[in-house]
Each structure stands twice: as structure tokens, then as C-alpha cells.
Structure 1
């Protein structure tokens, strides 16, 4: 028997002899107290901080939307002008009404 098998058998035997205590679902002693104490230690957020947080999130979302629409517009542009001829003709035809 080589060294590896001897050590393997020692590890298996010690694992078999170990007391198996299944972990419980209960929280450790004082856990709820620590959670509540940590929550109360944090200062309350002011109304200005809440609005600033909301505004930054909205600004980030709008920036993503703006960049995606700009990329879509840049990729979908063909050789056409931005004003189609019927629109230009409609403006010229109704100019006599002014």
C-alpha cells in the first residue's frame, strides 16, 4: 500500500467517525438583535437624498434610451433626406394660405 492510499484510508476513517450534526434552520443567538441594531444605527435618508437617488436612476435610464435611439437612427439612415418630398410639397402648397 502506498502513501496516498494510507492517507486516504485515514481520512475516510476519520470522516466516518465524526459526529454528524445537521445544521439547524434557527438563526444564531442574538442575530435579530444585531440586525435591528444595525438598521437603527443608519441615519434616516432625507427627502432631498431620496429625490436625488430617484432622479439619478431616471437620468441613467433616459441616457440609455437616448443612446439606443441615436444608434438606431444612425444605423437605419439611408440616402434619403430627412424631409420626404410629399412633406416639402405640402408645406409649399399651403404657403398661399398664410
Structure 2
């Protein structure tokens, strides 16, 4: 039988819809953080001085620019926002899944 929130108490419904809202907000903030990371690190563009390089060298430089967000102090707040949004998305998904498994009879 499928899980239907309207068949359960108001507290279970609030928890289910609250976890759904948290998942949606966390997912949207993950996407926004990824876009901001790509824009600030300029990981998707080819600078003029790199156009003469081989394909492998270009990809290596793009990768090193993109992963600088993990170690550079300039990106500390962005790194914190990204990891928080990932955690919110994951934990709210687990909460929804737990409610579906335990309450869905």
C-alpha cells in the first residue's frame, strides 16, 4: 500500500511536508552554490593564454581551478554554505524515506 500523508495524524503530516520543504530548499541551494562556485572559480572558461595548450593540459588547469574551492580561504563561506545545503538535502531525504517506510503500511 502506498504512503498517503492524509491518512496519518497532523503531526506526521507536518513532519512530512516540512521535510519535503527542507529537501526542496536544500536542493535549490545546492544548485545555486554549484553555479556560484563555477562562476567564481572560472572553471568553465578558457583564458586566452591557455588556448594554445593541448586538450589534456587545458582540462588539468580547469580541474585545478575548480577544486581550489576546497582548499582556498577565499571560499570558506561558500564551502560552508555548499556543505550545509548538501547535508540538509541528504538528511531531509532520509527523513522522508524513513517516514514512508515506517508509516506506509
Q: What TM-score do you get using the length of structure 2 for normalisation?
A: 0.33
Relative to total residues, which structure has the larger helix share, 1 or 2?
2
Kindly name which structure, 1 or 2, has the bigger radius of gyration based on alpha carbons: 1
Determine which structure has greater relative contact order: mean sequence separation of CA pairs < 8 Å that are 6+ residues apart, divided by chain length: 2
Q: What TM-score do you get using the length of structure 1 for normalisation?
A: 0.35
